[in-house]
Structure 1
Amino acid sequence: MTRQSFVTIRGKRFHWIWLRDHCLCPQCRHPSSFQKLYDISELSDPVEPLSVKEIGNKLQIIWAGDPPHHSSYPVSWLLSVAYDHETSGVDDTEEKETYLWNLAELQKYRSIWSDAITDSSENWLDQLSQLGFSLVRNLPSQDLEAFISSIGPIYHKARFGPFSTTKTIPKEQDVSQSTKGYALLPHTDSTFLYDSQRMIQFLYCEENQASGGESILVDGFKIVKDLQEDKPEVYRILSQTIVKFCRLYPDWEYYLCNNTPIINLGKNNDLGIYFSHKDFNPIAPFEEMECFYEAYSIFLGYLKNPDYQYSFKLTPGDLIILQNFRILHGRNAFAPDSGHRELTVAYLSWDYFTGRHNFHHLKHLYSVDAG
């Protein structure tokens, strides 16, 4: 009779060999970094448990060997790293689900935006993870760099350095800084740069005295979900057709281009929305171009639909933090001669945010008495 090669905990199965490889004791794992010290390939005999007990919300196993080895696993930790997706079970991790929104659904969410002076970071970290964006108020301008750097290193974009500025500049080539005060369609930034696709964007309001210029945010993931359900052919075209995004910087002698679908499903199902009307160049095959433009026009209709737009006026000290691969941002037209409008812009790799967010939510699982 073949012996069972796994144990079931709260509906999740764990193989003996996986459990032995993931022993949490100080001899097998570094106590502070949790990096592995034990090498399972050095085991000469098959993994065999002599004793398996669940005591006080911990799985206790004694492994065969000379001498026998004792492992202790908090059940909460096991459930947080469970790899058995075929069975049902209670997930005890504190990870919160993504909340897709249009304007009506965002109003039901009843978010309270963070105050940089009085609130902890966990509020805006959770909002950024769930909503795709957050708004931090009353952040002094001199504290902006330290605030961003507390999460990770600021991304340096071309010759802008760590920060760039959005304000009206005479003879400026970028339409976002034109003295005309153009409206900007909802878009993601730096679509022409491959290595900046999964970024957090920070938009900090230095001054905003101009008439108009309200900021607009749109949840791209919500639009993708609605297209999938209501217009599957549009979803198919936008997720399978490659688009070229390009930006010319004549003064710096750069012509930057990146190819990606507008709806990018990613290698690991990491959904991303990449779109900028001003840098957009479709490269669909001749036979498919007209169908692509039909789908593209429908997509733009969703972006411009007020039912999907969260619009608000920034005040000095406000900081918008958004997932640049999910949330599209834009603005209404404004009158430059009515007052000064200036935003400071910065970027940070999404990896640093997820690392910080995971640490806050999972750190208690790694402060274990492995026994």
Structure 2
Amino acid sequence: MSIARIEPHDDFLRVHFSAGEGPRHADFHWFWLRHNSEFDRHPLTHERIVCSSELPLELHPRLVRLSEDAAALDIDWGDRSDGQVSRYASDWLRAHAYAPERVPAPAPPSDSSSITVNAAHLDEPLGRFALRTLQRTGAVVVRGFGTDTEALIELIRSEGLSVIETHFGRIEDLRTDNTTNRNTDQLGYTDSAIQLHTDQPFLDRPPRYQLLHCQQPANTGGDNAVVDALAAAHHLADLDRPAFELLRTVPVTFHRKQKSFERVLVSPILDFDAPGGFRIRYSYFTLAPHRRPFAEMEAWYRAYNRFAKLVRDERHQYRLRLEAGDFLLYDNWRMLHARTAFTGSRWLRGVYFDAA
């Protein structure tokens, strides 16, 4: 019995076995492998001499390789001065496989080209294409449309969506020298970085879609990031079901407080039962202090932070830069969005839409 190949991942190692009885592949957490190293057994009695509590929970090996005959797996954990490696026989791994034939939920996609199109290259009406792509992927980027926001609004309205006015107004001019909007005392009107979030989570029904239409790019920075939070939720459920269940069931408080506006809403972060389908409310800058029973607070923070690290990983993000005339349209119930800090007179126009 031998190992055909190995496939390292962030949280686990996938081992592909050669032909024979048993699973074709199995997944093993790094921590589980380290806890079952022969280094932690007495050389005469072969009993464990190390408790798992003595090992760091978040660890990654320095080197993973197959033995010369591929009958075993060798892992250098980087914690032994003698340079010895842990060896795991293929038969032993197959016999102790606790996740055989696992089919993981994929991580959020990151290939921005898959959601990007040039307006001049479309062979169907732009509004129809944008909405069709939006329903499939959650976001669409269109290059070279031009800077006429009212014309763009009409194209989107022709597909059955209506503009939703908020406490900022009908159209937001997202620029540091804004003089056209109400309630500009918030991060969107500064040059600061804004990490991933959804807009208006403190409303009973946040606007479904948002348009960001570039009038003028920044001199430096100001790049956008978009993350498929629905894919991220399924991915988290596959990696850490307890964390997923907490995000799905624990109510948190979103509190938007500005000089002339205040709103509070309590809801779980992940809502799979919302009218109209999945809805995520996620906004670190409008979160009120968490209130959980003392015995549950650490578990809640671990769950929240696990999700945050997952979506903040650039490998799980669509990353892009909008130039003058480009626009980004995304599903605010499904996608998270962010921007980097910038210099210069960056100017984007923001418009919210929902079903007519």
TM-score, structure 1 length as denominator?
Answer: 0.60
Equivalent position amino acid for 2:246 in 1: I
TM-fit CA distance, 1:150: 2.2
Matched, 1:232 2:238: no
Unaligned ranges ≥5, structure 1: 1-98, 353-371
Matched, 1:246 2:258: no
SS in 1 for 2:142: strand
**Conservation of the 8 A alpha-carbon contact between 1:167 and 1:341:** yes
Matched, 1:162 2:166: no
1:127 and 1:148 mapped to 2: Cα distance?
13
2:275 and 2:320 mapped to 1: Cα distance?
34
Describe the shift of the 1:192–1:273 C-alpha distance in structure 2 as closer, same or farther (beyond 3 A).
same
TM-fit CA distance, 1:186: 1.0
1:139 to 118, 137, 145: 145
> Which residue is 2:266 aligned to?
259
TM-fit CA distance, 1:127: 1.3
1:326 and 1:259 mapped to 2: Cα distance?
18
SS in 2 for 1:234: helix
CA RMSD of aligned residues (A): 2.5
SS in 2 for 1:347: strand
**Conservation of the 8 A alpha-carbon contact between 1:100 and 1:131:** no
Superposed CA deviations along residues 34-69 of structure 1, whole A, max 9, x for unmatched, are xxxxxxxxxxxxxxxxxxxxxxxxxxxxxxxxxxxx
Superposed CA deviations along residues 240-299 of structure 1, whole A, max 9, x for unmatched, are 01011111131x3x2111111111122568221110111012333443222111111111
Describe the shift of the 1:276–1:123 C-alpha distance in structure 2 as closer, same or farther (beyond 3 A).
same
Count of residues in Structure 1 that have an aligned counterpart in Structure 2 = 242
**Conservation of the 8 A alpha-carbon contact between 2:140 and 2:328:** yes
**Conservation of the 8 A alpha-carbon contact between 1:165 and 1:342:** yes
**Conservation of the 8 A alpha-carbon contact between 1:245 and 1:257:** yes
Which stretch of the first structure deviates more once superposed, 134-143 or 109-118? 109-118
Equivalent position amino acid for 1:344 in 2: R
Instruction: Identify, as 1 or 2, the structure richer in helix.
Output: 1
1:126 to 132, 146, 162: 132
Equivalent position amino acid for 1:343 in 2: L
2:196 to 174, 186, 204: 186
Which stretch of the first structure deviates more once superposed, 259-268 or 232-241? 259-268
Superposed CA deviations along residues 141-197 of structure 1, whole A, max 9, x for unmatched, are 332332233233200102x3311121114996312222xx22111111011111225
TM-score, structure 2 length as denominator?
Answer: 0.62
SS in 2 for 1:154: strand
> Which residue is 2:230 aligned to?
221
Matched, 1:333 2:345: no
> Which residue is 1:202 aligned to?
211
Equivalent position amino acid for 1:226 in 2: H
**Conservation of the 8 A alpha-carbon contact between 2:115 and 2:140:** no
TM-fit CA distance, 1:209: 3.3
> Which residue is 2:297 aligned to?
289
Matched, 1:212 2:212: no
Describe the shift of the 1:257–1:169 C-alpha distance in structure 2 as closer, same or farther (beyond 3 A).
farther
Aligned residue runs from structure 1 range 87-98, under 5 A: none
> Which residue is 1:173 aligned to?
185
**Conservation of the 8 A alpha-carbon contact between 2:119 and 2:142:** yes
Describe the shift of the 1:249–1:110 C-alpha distance in structure 2 as closer, same or farther (beyond 3 A).
closer
Q: Percent identity?
A: 25
TM-fit CA distance, 1:110: 3.9
Describe the shift of the 1:168–1:227 C-alpha distance in structure 2 as closer, same or farther (beyond 3 A).
same
Equivalent position amino acid for 1:115 in 2: A
